Structure 1
Amino acid sequence: MCLAICRNRVFISQNHCILNYQLDGKFISRVGVPGDGELEFKDPWGITIDKSNGDVYICDVSNNRIQILSENLHYKSQYGKDILTEPVDILPTRDNIFILDGSYSCLHIFNKDLVLQKNIIYRGEGQQVIYPWFFFQFALIIF
């Protein structure tokens, strides 16, 4: 289970669904069922909000993709099915989208047009970051 907070709203990923609450705890909405189609999830994990437009990015771990929803949790798009193997965390910035792939312990860097720019591999001799879950949440606390 992960959560993201933006614009007085809380988004939680858990049990094949995304929950949306107001900061005061009032329930707003829920989307998602088990599966591999639009608004269907298999192990939704990392979740974050693009502060520039309110889009909700969800790491759909066992479907090997990222689903993008509007801030009202309407389906917008998805990507990564042919590139990602176990996306566990995501961080959109002004210029790039960083995705942590837990299976390969790899950081993928995409531009805003979702074109892969670079892969940084962590697993290997002398680079022992294995299964780096929650990397971006900790990075945001540090920076």
Structure 2
Amino acid sequence: MTDRIVSKRLFSIRYKTSFLENLAKKRSILYRDITLSGDLIIIACVSIHGYISVISQYGKELYRIGTGSVRSPYGLCASFDFIYVTDIYFHTLGKYSLNGRLIARIGKQGGNNGEFDLPYGLTVDNTGNILYVTDNRNHRIQVFTSDLEFITSFGTNIFNRVSDVKSCVDGSIVVLDNSGRRLHKLSPDFYQVRTVHTHIPPVNLITLYYPLFFCVDTSDNIFISDRYSFCIQVFDSNLVHLSSFIGNVLSDKMKLDPKGIVCDDNGVIMCLSDSGPFIRIFKAS
């Protein structure tokens, strides 16, 4: 079922703090996705070469993963002391231990099972045993075991340049396609439950201009980083719009240019930004 977007505006996000103000000023770094593993913050970074930066909860870089084995890391997720990362240069999916050891890597550019054409966002299910990986230019989601063994794929006739995917607490799957600017909800067995278009003016008051990443909290609320509108859009589990948070919270220098986004179990939201400070921290309420 495809619907126009509905807005309730019953949700608020409060700016808390930020860090990494100085880290990217020292060198040219492009930040992409962000995930959490316990108290560790894990970020996909691209400079001359790609790497995965592991940062303390206080904003100090502790060590790096993937130097020499990733070229252009994009999507990240963490589960059971493992980190999964997509690489859009090599069109691969990699699995690392939290201490940096490369355990497995699969993929090449193509359209067959286990091949990718721009693998973007990814996620694990609630068990940590199933991995969903976006395959952007093949317009599909590929499903793997946690050991990177191919299971199935879905969505070829539904999605348009899928950019991110998340597994919800209730087992459903939420998918974002940025070219279609649509948000999809699917059942655990991949049947389409609902789709909302977010770019049908003037019918829709809410428009997603360039959504690439999103996260889901413990109540299955959805937080989308919408880069070109400089804001975070919030939807509930039924894809009803709740709120928009505009990122220019303090001044033009604090303008939010959102990229990867993640939320913890306490409602704390971390969003990467291409304009410093480079990690913004918010509290949902």
- Structure 2 residue identity aligned to 1:72: D
Q: Identity of counterpart residues, as a percentage?
A: 26
Structure 2 residue 144 is the aligned partner of structure 1 residue 69? yes
CA distance in 2, matches of 1:132, 1:53: 26
Cα 1:25–1:53 shift into 2, 3 Å = closer
RMSD: 1.4
Q: Tell me the CA shift for residue 135 of structure 1.
A: 1.9
Structure 2 residue 184 is the aligned partner of structure 1 residue 108? yes
Structure 2 residue 85 is the aligned partner of structure 1 residue 12? yes
Structure 2 residue 121 is the aligned partner of structure 1 residue 46? yes
Q: Tell me the CA shift for residue 127 of structure 1.
A: 2.1
Q: Secondary structure at the match of 2:121?
A: strand
Q: Tell me the CA shift for residue 53 of structure 1.
A: 4.6
Structure 2 residue 97 is the aligned partner of structure 1 residue 22? yes
- Structure 2 residue identity aligned to 1:6: S
- Structure 2 residue identity aligned to 1:37: N
8 Å CA contact 1:100, 1:107 repeated in 2: yes
* Corresponding residue of 1:138: 261
Cα 1:95–1:27 shift into 2, 3 Å = closer
8 Å CA contact 2:79, 2:128 repeated in 1: no
CA distance in 1, matches of 2:149, 2:112: 13
Cα 1:19–1:115 shift into 2, 3 Å = same
* Structure 2 unaligned residues grouped into runs of 5+: 1-73, 216-259, 270-283
CA distance in 2, matches of 1:105, 1:49: 23
Residues 55-104 of structure 1, C-alpha deviations (whole Å, 9 max, x = no match):
11100000000000100000000000111111101111123110001111
* Structure 1 unaligned residues grouped into runs of 5+: none
Q: Tell me the CA shift for residue 139 of structure 1.
A: 5.6
8 Å CA contact 1:19, 1:29 repeated in 2: yes
Residue range with higher mean Cα deviation, 86-95 or 2-11: 86-95
More helix by share: 1
- Structure 2 residue identity aligned to 1:13: T
Flag the structure with larger Rg. Answer: 2
TM-score by length of 2: 0.48
* Corresponding residue of 2:130: 55
**Equivalent residue runs for 1:121-136 within 5 Å:** 121-125=197-201, 126-136=205-215
